[in-house]
Amino acid sequence: MALGRAIVREAGVFLMDEPLSNLDAKLRVQMRAEISKLHQKLNTTMIYVTHDQTEAMTMATRIVIMKDGIVQQVGAPKTVYNQPANMFVAGFIGSPAMNFIRGTIDGDKFVTETLKLTIPEEKLAVLKTQESLHKPIVMGIRPEDIHPDAQEENNISAKISVAELTGAEFMLYTTVGGHELVVRAGALNDYHAGENITIHFDMTKCHFFDAETEIAIR
């Protein structure tokens, strides 16, 4: 009703504070679409407050991400997703969240006590420019950028602890050399808890963060 009154008054700005928080999952999806249609039809500014990153990604033209009252990043959803400013943003945007692994750079490799992954030249050049070699850093990689198949390099053995079938895909919760990683996989193959698989890291899609400041290294 409040939204209807604002439309009748031809308000210049609509402010919504978690308007869908009390709805069930199915109705929330429907209402997200309806509010987006309304925004396009009215062609006015809408400020939408939410703690649900899915709502932010699907509805916004620009996202402001805040932590403890401080703005962490402002940008289009795709930009925020692909170029997060820091670990907080990287972990908040995306479901399941980005995987984080702490390690160091040794030559052209990202290494931990149990992992050794080859870094693409373009990303390695940035790390060298930012003087990040041999310093503790954090590598971030999204579940969709880890693939359950072997390639020429950057292959690691993983053990599935939980395999969640969501319909068109699996969410595989795996243990890799002491690290807990989530892998997004297609549903063409079956996966089961306790199964050992080989996973491939697409290192062209990885992100690096300063271990102390948690700021993205670019």
What does the domain layout of the chain look like in residue ranges? 1-92, 99-217
What Å distances lie between residue 46 and 6, 13, 16, 56, 149, CA to CA? 11, 6, 8, 12, 43
Residues of the chain with pLDDT below 70 are 1-9
- Please choose, from the candidates 68, 66, 93, 97, the residue with its C-alpha nearest in 3D space to the C-alpha of residue 78: 93
pLDDT of residue 3: 64
pLDDT of residue 165: 95
Beta strands 196-201; 155-165: pairing state: antiparallel
Select 1-92's CATH number: 3.90.550.10, 3.40.50.410, 3.40.50.300, 3.30.420.10: 3.40.50.300
- Please choose, from the candidates 109, 135, 142, 113, the residue with its C-alpha nearest in 3D space to the C-alpha of residue 123: 109
- Please choose, from the candidates 28, 142, 137, the residue with its C-alpha nearest in 3D space to the C-alpha of residue 92: 142
pLDDT of residue 1: 52
pLDDT of residue 39: 85
Share of residues in the chain with pLDDT > 70 (%): 95
Q: How far apart are CA 103 and CA 142, in angstroms?
A: 17
Instruction: Evaluate whether the domain defined by 99-217 bears CATH number 2.40.160.20.
Output: no
Share of residues in the chain with pLDDT > 90 (%): 68
pLDDT of residue 7: 64
144-168 tens-digit pLDDT: 999 998 787 889 999 999 999 999 9
- Fold identical between 1-92 and 99-217? no
Q: How far apart are CA 198 and CA 200, in angstroms?
A: 7
For 180, phi then psi, to 5°, come to -95, 115
Give this prediction's pTM.
0.89
